[in-house]
Structure 1
Amino acid sequence: MNEQNKAEADITTHDQNPYEIVKDLLKEAVSSLELSENVYHILKKPMRVFEVAVPVRMDNGELRNFTGYRSQHSDVLGPTKGGIRFHPSVTLDEVKALSIWMSMKSAILDLPLGGGKGGIIVDPKELNERELEELSRNYIRSITPIIGPQKDIPAPDVNTNPQIMGWMLDEFDKLRGYNVPGMLTGKPLIVGGSQGRIAATGRGVVFTIREAAKALDLDLSKATAAIQGFGNVGSMTAKFLHELGVKVVAITDANGGIHSDEGFDIPELLEFVKDGKNASDFSKGDTITNEEMFGLPVDILVPAAIENQITAKTAPSIKAKILAEAANGPTTPEGDKILEDNGIFVIPDILCNAGGVTVSYFEWVQNSMNYYWKEDEVNTKLEEKMVTGFDRIYSIRQEKKCRMREAAYSAAIKHLVKAFHARGWIKEDPS
């Protein structure tokens, strides 16, 4: 198990229900677009939610029965798509909310996919490798009736990785009796994974930061950044920011944080955490807490952990010019209002971290063709998608004089409603 992913997953507060938050955001956007309430009623509930029992025989002989979920929000644009997370704080409402956010991301970037999400209530640190493999295989067995390359396509998320995807793919193939590489994404390259997939979310985050910096006339070669969470997304974001000349001065994880006004040597730090060490244990820096990090006078703040981090309590101290939501739902509505009032440019999660689903889409396409692209081609296609998506949202913001989040939800919902109308689900034509 990747220790960085564990650390990322542990930075969490679940004091607000993400499903209630996303429903409020949908309602606000539908009203702003002057669409009928029927649209809101279609969008607010996933079309299908699955709850399953996932039994695992532990090495001590005990049989533990874990609870798993899969939420499929909407397939109006294509098969649903979204990750599977292993975490003790997984809830049904969290999975529902995450599936809705996945629909929004696909719509913003014009991907022919809907939103899905899955999870198991489990602390993976309590399982050894054999138990983790059994959990992964039994979960896929349980949800096999509702997944597949033309139905619902899982992927990695918090505490899951290419190896776990490999086990799941193998179990699905055994049940089907033949290879189905496109049934999930984020898998190892040798069995049909895509070049560029592991770094895709972090790379996409940095593409949006670069575009925001252009809009704000911010010179990234002289900019500073702080990052909350140093799992896959946080570490890749740090890597690509460093390559653009940004000085990363603070990083936090589940065990603490590090700070240096001089900035960190990110390649050296990435080498340090490669063997399962925590970024917060890196000796070349002073210690810092999450709260202290939020208050640093940096140009860019990147929450790359999990939901509900920037709240009415933490938002007032934030001094960054750009807040890039690399995590899903890191900002509560109260925190968002404070950021807006303080003039902070927010890159909303449904745009900022959509690089992962974009390259997952590319992987699915490559599986369908049985022809695979080089990494440079994948990265070029990703950049084109992310820049186009940013430009679309930023144009709406400029035209409507609204928040970036409102612009993002407006664009996503309008795209989905066009598909609803084309299929005859609603009468009103949003075009």
Structure 2
Amino acid sequence: MPKEVSFLDSVNRYFDMAAPHTGLDAGLLTQIKICNSVYQVHFPVKINGEVKVIEAYRAQHSHHRSPTKGGIRYSNHVSQDEVVALATLMSYKCAIVDVPFGGAKGGVKINPWEYSEKDLENITRRYTTELIKRKFIGPAVDVPAPDYGTGPREMAWIYDTYRAFHPDDINAAGCVTGKPVNQNGVRGRTEATGRGVFYGIREACNQPDLMEKLGLTMGIEGKTMVIQGLGNVGSHTATISQDEGGVKIIGVSEVEGAIYNKEGIDIHALLRHREHHGSILSFPGVQIYGKEKRRAVMEFECDILVPAALENQIDAENAGSVRAKIIAEAANGPVTADGAAILAERGVVVIPDIYLNAGGVTVSYFEWLKNLSHMRFGRLQKRFDERVYTNIVKQIEDTTGKKISQRDKDMITHGADEIDLIRSGLEETMITGFQGVYAMYTNNDGIKDLRTAAFALAISKISSDYIALGIWP
């Protein structure tokens, strides 16, 4: 049986594979690789009349840019190694998509579904207080965001706690992102990671030489997709890919098991069914794989496999059985280093997590900018643009003597709302990010896969900051 490789070990192995292609000094590479700061804390919280001691972490991997940025996850599996690995990936992720943050990550070692809302609020506020005391949070210092087990509710508690400690900080809303829209959040944040995954897959499918290598037609439309995990990222990836990309979803897995239908699964109907019945296994017209066989989803034949759950899902044991042509890493670290080596030998293209799931931090960056500017996107130009477009349409109608239908007129004269601008900015970011990774891949004969190219690109960009800012002696 293969030796189990930790998530952090896999990340560091990927770094070591890419480092020789950068031509950088060994000392500088070491500085980029290591995690700069890790804060471990244990704090007491009263739960049901008893005091429970909670274990928690915050890691700041790199300070080549400020503030540092990264989510906070609530999970029984939280450990220092996991948090450091995730913070490390965040540094590289931000560099690839030109988001000016250093990487960070937080974790609280609890199962959030075992606690009441009031208990979770107490835990979140106490954790935030600990970060404030150690100066591990602030709009110019370190900006958390949602992750596995957390969401807008927890981010609102963090914001409120920070504001209580810093009542005079006019930029306090920028201390955390992923907040509810009515509490200085930004529209489009909830869907951001999944939408970014879609944009990334679509851009990969628009590369003629890559599609020719895989024996696939150009474009994303009509391609078959399998989704592992129907959480926030998986569900939005699936719905957007189906609705906007014309993708056929043929397989889905969740904690209770997996389902398959080669003719396609209506993802909206499936999500409604699971919400109502609590399981995907009773969805009609599909082949069913029970809980003990839910990893069989990795072996379904398809064009695109999207692991959107937790890390280490494809390893040395099952990589040889994967029948997808493209693996799109929507989750962090779903493929181990050993698994990736086997996939590369078999010609499977892996679109790496450090690029593909950067949509979340990209839109978090937009929210942070909104908080610092104290103005929602579109406020200044929306009505002006609508008037200009309306006048153009009127001129065309007057000149031609023909009338445009009201539906077409509304579409043409629509000024950009905040959600339109957020989606446009995210699309531009993901397209440009892929082009950077792909250029590194195609222009360097020694680089054999997209992950190595992505790591090499990230390392090179971070090194430029170290040198330009005088951080490196």
* TM-based fold match above 0.5: yes
Q: CA deviation at 1:15?
A: 4.2
Pick the aligned partner of 1:52 from 10, 24, 41: 41
Q: Would the alpha carbon gap of residues 390 and 174 (structure 1) be closer, same or farther in structure 2, given more than 3 Å must change?
A: same
Does 1:113 find its partner at 2:157? no
Which of the numbers 190, 205, 220 marks the counterpart of 2:197? 205
Q: Which amino acid is the alignment partner of residue 71 of structure 1?
A: A
| 2:268 match | 267
In 1, the alpha carbon distance for the partners of 2:237 and 2:247 equals 11
Seen in structure 2, the aligned counterparts of structure 1 residues 101 and 271 have a Cα distance that, compared at 3 Å, is same
2:427 aligned residue (376, 379, 383): 383
Checking the alignment, whether the CA contact within 8 Å between 1:306 and 1:328 is kept in structure 2 is yes
- Helix, strand or coil: the match of 1:346? strand
Extract unaligned runs of 5+ from structure 2: 212-216, 378-417
Q: Is residue 2:335 matched to residue 1:331?
A: yes
Matched letter for residue 440 of structure 2: I
Moved more, 195-204 or 69-78: 69-78
Mapping of 1:181-192 within 5 angstroms?
Answer: 181-192=173-184
**Alignment partners' CA distance in 2, 1:418 and 1:54:** 39
Residue of structure 2 equivalent to 1:286:
287
Amino acid paired to 1:419: D
How big is each residue's C-alpha offset from its partner over 1:52-94, in whole Å with a ceiling of 9 and x where there is no partner?
Answer: 12322112x1111110000001121221000000000111011
2:344 equivalent to 1:340: yes
1:15–1:308: 8 Å Cα contact kept in structure 2? no
2:88 to 85, 89, 100: 100
Report deviation, 1:177: 2.2
Which whole-Å CA distance do the structure 1 matches of 2:421 and 2:58 have between them?
Answer: 32
Residue matched to 2:26: 37
Aligned to 1:296: 300
The residue aligned with 2:369 is 365
Deviates more, 1:128-137 or 1:394-403: 394-403
Are the counterparts in 1 of residues 64 and 471 from structure 2 also a CA contact under 8 Å? no
- Residue 350 of structure 1 corresponds to which residue in structure 2? 354
Partners of 1:282 and 1:128 in 2: CA distance? 30
- Determine helix, strand or coil for the equivalent of 1:305: coil
Residue identity in the other structure for 2:143: I
User: How many angstroms does 1:284 deviate by?
Assistant: 4.4
**Distance in 2 between residues matched to 1:315 and 1:345, nearest whole Å:** 12
1:197: Cα distance to partner? 0.4
- Given residue 183 of structure 1, which amino acid in structure 2 is its aligned partner? C
Matched to 2:457, the amino acid is: A
2:69 equivalent in structure 1: 81
User: C-alpha distance in 2, partners of 1:153/1:383?
Assistant: 23
- Residue 10 of structure 1 corresponds to which residue in structure 2? none
TM-score, reference length from structure 1: 0.92
Q: What does residue 9 of structure 1 align with? A: none
Contact 1:258 1:287 in 2 (8 A): yes
Residues 32 and 463, structure 2, Cα contact 8 Å, conserved in 1: no
1:225 matched residue in structure 2: 225
Match of 2:459 in 1: 413
Say which is worse superposed, 323-332 or 275-284, in terms of deviation: 275-284
After superposition, the C-alpha distances for 1:37-62 in whole angstroms (9 at most, x for unaligned) are 11222122221111112322112x11
Cα offset, 1:184, TM superposition: 0.3
Cα distance in 1, alignment partners of residues 60 and 77 from structure 2: 20
Q: Which runs of 4+ in 1 moved over 6 A?
A: none
Any idea what SS the aligned residue of 2:341 has?
helix
The alignment's TM-score, normalised by the length of structure 2, stands at: 0.84
The SS at the match of 2:470 is coil
Q: Is the 8 A contact 1:29 1:410 kept in 2?
A: yes
Query: How many residues matched?
Result: 413
- Partner residue of 2:410? none
Alignment CA distance shift 1:362-1:274 (3 Å): farther
RMSD: 1.6
Quote how far apart the aligned CAs of 1:27 are.
Answer: 2.4
What's the CA shift for 1:275? 6.0
CA distance in 2, matches of 1:166, 1:285: 40
TM-fit CA distance, 1:25: 2.0
Q: Deviations over 1:227-278 (max 9, x none)?
A: 1111000000000110111111111111111211221111222333456934
Task: Work out the CA distance in 2 between the residues paired with 1:146 and 1:300.
Answer: 39
Mapped to 2, the partners of 1:264 and 1:420 lie a distance apart of 48
By how many angstroms is 1:281 displaced? 4.7
Query: Residue 300 of structure 1 contacts residue 322 of structure 1 at CA under 8 Å; is this kept in 2?
Result: yes
- Note if contact 1:250-1:260 (Cα within 8 Å) is conserved in structure 2: yes
Cα distance in 2, alignment partners of residues 173 and 252 from structure 1 = 41
